[in-house]
Amino acid sequence: MQEEGIYPSVYTFIALLKACVSASCLEKGQNVHIDITKFGLEEDAYIGSSLVDMYAKCGSLSIAQYVFQKLSERNVSTWTAMISGYVQEGLYEHALKAFEQMKSEDFSPDAFTFVSLLKACRSLCSIDMIREIHNIIVKNDLEGNPYVSSTLTDSYASLGLLSEAKAILDEQHSVDVYSWTALISACLAHGSYSDVLGYFDQMCGLGVSPSTVTFTCILQACSSLNDVDAGQTMHIEIVKMGLEDDFAVANTLVDMYSTCDYHQEAEDVFNRHCDRDVVTWTALIAGYAKMGLTKRVFRCLEEMELEGISPNSVTYLACMKSCQITNMIDVVEALHAQVYIRGFEYDLSVGNALIDSYARCGAFTEAEDMLAKLASGRDIVSWNSLITGYVEHGYCTEALVHFEELLREGFLPTSITYGSSLKACWIAEALDIGQQIHMRIVKEGLECDPLVFNNLVSMYVKCDCYDEAWKLFLDLPSRDLIGWNIFIAGYGDSGQTDQALDCFSEMCMDNIIPDIVSWNSILSSLSEKGSVEKTFSIYAQMQEQGYLPDRIIFLSMSVACRNAPSLERGKRIHIQIQGAYGIKVTDVVLMNSLIEMYSNSGQMSDAQNLFTTMGTRNHISWSSLISGYACFGSIDHVLCLFQEAMQSGVNVDGVLILGVLSACAHAGLLCKGQEICQMMMNSYTFDPTIEHFASLIDLYSRAGQLNEALALINIMPIQPNVVIWFTILSACKNWDDVFSERMAFDHALQFEK
């Protein structure tokens, strides 16, 4: 152009500078700048604006500032270019200062200025500044500008002001897909998943076609809601619009189906998607891992590597989910080997997941080794994983030792750290350490954190320090359901049923609606006490409030009928259990409780029928039935069942032996009782209790073998109780042994005193 004698104009240079911006070519932009200087056009306001814009967008903000400062004449475009440059470089405060200076020089911002300013305010999370800019936009009559309104919507929405964002959309005559997607995306980010689907319906109702980004947001909301029906409806629309092959959409579809446990549908989308990457594979693996399908997880790892796609840290984190479900040490070790080979062992997230997985399996040597490998790179999550694992496995002393260690290393505990450490204190009954931790919590201002607070109250309740627990609880401005449940369960577990019932009543008067945990706790407490009338009254209240009994409640109700034999009510509970689980109940614990209930009521035929129909039995099943027959003197049934139990290979425990010994004593079968006693001493691993010795002494006493009974008292490793001495006393009267009677009376009298 110049060779032909044609000289570039202002517009030519502006076009050249725009081309440099589009190509992100700073070097050519600098050459154009040299030519501009040669032609003496550097002071032109429009060229100056374009130069500032070019340098800022090409990453040379310092030169942009230099050019800006040299301009003798500036306009709105110059200021906007400078403000936009600051925003692009993350210098948001500078952008706002430039805006203030721009206003002081009486320049009126345009739509592009406002778009940049709103981005700066959004990045600074300054709601007040966004509202201030919004007011200026309204004054300048730019609220209807699509770029401005879209950015305003996005700014409000991204900071969680969803109603304000929606209000801006509602004021627009025509809203494009970008504004709708900004609102939908923000709702997704803030967990308003139902709003995501609702706004999508509104958008489509107004004739706005969703983009691929919109669909990915909707599918993520469906995943979070576990709403596979809505997800499948979206899938149909995606196919209609020909978007299933879109990379992001296909990956999100796989993730949605996997998250909702629709693995076949996930595989179908996966197999149709030819252009798979690590994200696609990871989405599929995550679904399998969540279900604990470890074989499929490892198969996918092998197949993706055959396709030349290497797993990344996110893939391995997804795989670790299967370890958290299965708690299989061999799976953790196999994954650890792959992580090591791939060089991700020192990745903090992966390392923490390995610590967590090993700790869940109880493999604490490996967990501690992994913690040591992370060394200076470890964080509080690393410590939390180890401490929580120790607590869950009951190693509370070790958990508290590591709590002290992390403090020495300068780590600041989180609510999870304190929650686990307080739990360790109450399990280990280490009240003094718990009180020290409480002091730290108060200093750090974490006392009102829900997790910390609930564990604090639990610690004091479990350590029987109810005054301290109540002081904490009553200091709350509003008392919640979880706190009440802690007290109800605490009183119930310690046998203080009246106090548990008082708490339950006070909670209801406090307008707190009980949940299934509340009902479980109070019914369990009442049933153990044998308060059958009150138990059934509370049970009726629960059903009136629309709660269906679960397994734990059914157990409590059968225990209530067992402890205070009530055959009619017991049969009603049995019928309800059959209604919930089917005629043939397969839950062994429930069946055992029903057998014991019928046995205590003397309905041995019903107990026997239940026992006979059981597909799976354990030692408690045998013990419950044998004890029932023993109580009613059915020695033939007892001995026959005992023989069957031994032949079936069941683990013979102390309760089962006690039932047989008791039956032998009542039937006067001394030889058989001695035989059982010999078996107990020689063949079984449990330690005999005072009840076993009492039954043996009763056996000898009933047979008139008082010398053997007294000899056993002298050699038994447990101090005899009042029951044993009264057994001897009664036998002495029966067998007219005055000397032994006097001795037994003196010992029994000591207990009475």
Q: Which one of 110-119, 391-400, 639-648 scores highest in mean pLDDT?
A: 391-400
Domain annotation for the chain: domains and CATH numbers: 379-477 (1.25.40)
Q: What is the predicted pLDDT for the residue at 631?
A: 86
Task: Tell me the average pLDDT across 310-322.
Answer: 89
Q: What is the predicted pLDDT for the residue at 156?
A: 86
What is the percent of the chain with per-residue pLDDT over 70, rounded to a whole number?
97
Q: What is the predicted pLDDT for the residue at 752?
A: 64
- pLDDT at residue 533 greater than cutoff 60: yes
Q: What is the predicted pLDDT for the residue at 344?
A: 92
- pLDDT at residue 670 greater than cutoff 70: yes
Q: Considering only residues 530 and 362, tell me which one the structure prediction assigns the higher pLDDT.
A: 362
Mean pLDDT value across the chain: 88
Q: What is the predicted pLDDT for the residue at 529?
A: 84
Which candidate, 80, 9, 15, places its Cα nearest to that of 41?
9
Task: Give the confidence band of 35 by pLDDT, cuts at 50, 70, 90.
Answer: low
Task: Give the confidence band of 640 by pLDDT, cuts at 50, 70, 90.
Answer: very high
- pLDDT at residue 231 greater than cutoff 90: yes
Task: Tell me the average pLDDT across 695-715.
Answer: 88
- pLDDT at residue 334 greater than cutoff 70: yes
- pLDDT at residue 740 greater than cutoff 80: no
Q: What is the predicted pLDDT for the residue at 431?
A: 94
What string of H, E and C letters represents the secondary structure of 500-563?
HHHHHHHHHHCCCCCCHHHHHHHHHHHHHHCCHHHHHHHHHHHHHCCCCCCHHHHHHHHHHHHH
Q: What is the predicted pLDDT for the residue at 735?
A: 83
Residue 191 vs residues 152, 211, 222, 233: alpha-carbon distances, Å: 20, 21, 12, 21
Which candidate, 329, 256, 310, 324, places its Cα nearest to that of 287?
256
Q: How would DSSP label each residue in 381-440?
A: HHHHHHHHHHHHTT-HHHHHHHHHHHHHTTPPP-HHHHHHHHHHHHHTT-HHHHHHHHHH
CA 29 to chain centre: 55
Q: What is the predicted pLDDT for the residue at 84?
A: 86
Q: What is the predicted pLDDT for the residue at 702?
A: 87
Task: Give the confidence band of 7 by pLDDT, cuts at 50, 70, 90.
Answer: low
Task: Give the confidence band of 375 by pLDDT, cuts at 50, 70, 90.
Answer: confident
Lowest model confidence (mean pLDDT) among 319-328, 510-519, 591-600: 319-328
pLDDT, tens digit, for every residue of 394-438?
A: 999 999 999 999 999 999 999 999 999 999 999 999 999 999 999
**Dihedral sign (CA 644, 650, 655, 658):** positive
Which candidate, 584, 583, 519, places its Cα nearest to that of 557?
519
Give the single-character DSSP code of 729. H
- pLDDT at residue 5 greater than cutoff 60: no
Q: What is the predicted pLDDT for the residue at 650?
A: 85
pLDDT, tens digit, for every residue of 563-588?
A: 766 788 999 999 999 888 776 778 89
Separation CA 241–CA 751 (nearest Å) = 87
Q: Considering only residues 28 and 211, tell me which one the structure prediction assigns the higher pLDDT.
A: 211
Q: What is the predicted pLDDT for the residue at 389?
A: 96
pLDDT, tens digit, for every residue of 169-212?
A: 888 777 788 888 888 988 998 888 999 999 999 999 989 999 99
Is there a contact between 614 and 637 (Cβ–Cβ < 8 Å)?
Answer: no
What is the percent of the chain with per-residue pLDDT over 90, rounded to a whole number?
41
Task: Give the confidence band of 454 by pLDDT, cuts at 50, 70, 90.
Answer: very high
Query: Who contacts 87 (Cβ-Cβ below 8 Å, separation ≥6)?
Result: 95, 116, 119, 120, 123
Task: Tell me the average pLDDT across 499-524.
Answer: 94
